Amino acid sequence: MIKFSKKILAICGIASLLVAGIVTAGFADSDRDRDREYSRFSKIRTAYNSERDDDHRSDRDQRWKRYKNHDRDDDDTPAPAPIPTPAPIPTPTPTPTPVPADGQAVFNSSCANCHTLSGTSKMNLAGDGSKVSSAHNTGSLSSTEKTALASYLNSQTAPTPTPTPTPTPTPTPTPTPTPTPTPTPIPVNGQAVFSNSCAGCHTLTGTSKMNLAGDGSKIATAHNTGSLSSTEKTALASYLNSQAAPAPAPAPAPAPAPAPAPAPAPAPAPALDGMALYNQYCSGCHGQGMRGEPVSATQSAINNNKGGMGFLGSLTAAQLTAISQY
């Protein structure tokens, strides 16, 4: 394109010179002026021819390069073969945008005949489990309809359950506590306490039924480990305090001295009653109905004063023998 522009400029320059020469020649007054213009024109033509030759050589080189590159110039090369018109690219058919499925419409058309939005059934299907399962498994919903149906159901709010009225509690009357009657204590009979726990060793006159000399420690132990309650002790004390002191026995009137009588023959000593002696001296501690022992064993216990029996010192050998035999 640059070389072609130079050609056009050169041609335009030559034309302008020719026009100028012709005009100048027409107005020249002498041959001298024509010769001068002709000389100048000759120089211009020589310069033009030289430049044209250079341009030809340069153009020839350029055309050869273009020819090798299949880019021939329109002026110097044959007309190129017509470029085949490319086949028109088919316009792709736009894929229609699927209309989103309406979940509510799917529910109304395929579900609402049997189901409600609250999850309850409109009919009693008891015993028809296999039939219902078969109907569900062969349903004709597409994946798009299933998705729309699930979205619609998930968007529903759970129905507010009707609150069950709270029954008003009936006030229960406070039961009046029944007072527990205080049991009236049975008065303790002090006389019975004395008879059961004291009379075995003591009398109401304050004397002892047995000789307890030297047995103080044993008696103290028996007293300290007694089993009387405080009520029994109080009743016993009241009973003893209520007893009147025994009247002293009147002194017997002195009997007249009898006339001395001849000494009678000694009467045989009466037989001693072992049971009476036992009841008088022994039953207070040993009790009634004691199991019998051989006479020798009982006699040995009496002789050795086994158990610290205080009455032994006041009994004769005959009385002790009668007690052991009894």
* Percent of the chain topping pLDDT 90: 0
The token duo for 275 is 């049971």
Q: How far apart are CA 228 and CA 236, in angstroms?
A: 10
Checking if the pLDDT of 35 tops 80, the result is no
**pLDDT of amino acid 72:** 46
pLDDT tens-digit readout, 246-276? 666 666 666 666 666 666 655 555 667 778 8
pLDDT grade for 49, boundaries at 50, 70 and 90: low
pLDDT tens-digit readout, 210-228? 665 555 555 555 555 567 7
Long-range Cβ contact pairs of 163-172 (< 8 A, separation 24 or more): none
Buried b (16+ CB within 10 A) or exposed e, 47-64: ebeeebeebeeebeebbe
Q: How far apart are CA 208 and CA 216, in angstroms?
A: 13
pTM: 0.24
Amino acid letter, 13: G
Checking if the pLDDT of 73 tops 50, the result is no
